Amino acid sequence: MHCKSTILGFVVTAVIFLAGCSQSSDVTLHKPGVYKGPTDPLIELQKSPKQQEALLTRFNQVQTDR
């Protein structure tokens, strides 16, 4: 009886370890330099002179420690 529980414990442990080694088959291939995600609403906002000025001001005030 003790031998069966030891074997069962070993099998359960082996199954848990092997399950951790599995890989997801959901792979997404991307082309370099081509963004295929949803459209970004900030792209249009970035074109406005007011937004460019705000970004430049923030960069000059906050990002000077780098």
Token pair for 41: 């609403």
Task: Say if residues 46 and 52 touch (Cβ distance below 8 Å).
Answer: yes
The pLDDT assigned to 63 comes to: 61
Q: Report how far residue 52's alpha carbon sits from residue 39's, in angstroms, rounded to the nearest whole number.
A: 20
The pLDDT assigned to 1 comes to: 56
The pLDDT assigned to 66 comes to: 58
The pLDDT assigned to 50 comes to: 92
| Positions of the chain with pLDDT under 70 | 1-2, 22-24, 63-66
The pLDDT assigned to 14 comes to: 84
